[in-house]
Amino acid sequence: MTQNVHTQLTLEQAMRDRHSIRKYETGHTIPEAELNAILELATTAPSSWNLQHWKLLVITDQATKEKMLPIAYGQQQVVDSSAVILVLGDLEANKNADAVYKPALEGGFMPQNAYDALTGQIQAAYTDNAQGARDEAIRNSSYLAMQLMLAAKAYGYDTCPMGGFDRTKVVEEFNIPARYIPSVMLTLGKAAAPAHATGRFNLEQLVVKNTF
Q: Which secondary structure element, helix H or strand E, spans residue 132, and what is its range?
A: helix 130-154
Question: pLDDT tens-digit profile of 143-188?
Answer: 999 999 999 999 999 999 999 999 999 999 999 999 999 999 999 9
Query: Are the C-beta atoms of 192 and 25 separated by less than 8 Å?
Result: yes
Query: Are the C-beta atoms of 124 and 145 separated by less than 8 Å?
Result: no
Question: pLDDT tens-digit profile of 9-22?
Answer: 888 888 888 898 89
Give residue 3's pLDDT. 47
Q: In angstroms, rounded to a whole number, what is the distance separating the alpha carbons of residues 67 and 173?
A: 8
Determine what percent of the chain is predicted with pLDDT higher than 70. Answer: 96
The string of DSSP codes covering 23-36 is -B-TTPPPPHHHHH
SS (H, E, C) 133-170: HHHHHHHHHHHHHHHHHHHHHHCCCEEEEECCCCHHHH
Write down the domain spans for the chain.
6-206
Fold for domain 6-206? Answer: NADH Oxidase (3.40.109)
Give residue 96's pLDDT. 98
Confidence grade of residue 43 (pLDDT, cut at 50, 70, 90): very high
Question: pLDDT tens-digit profile of 87-111?
Answer: 999 999 999 999 999 999 999 999 9
pTM over 0.85: yes
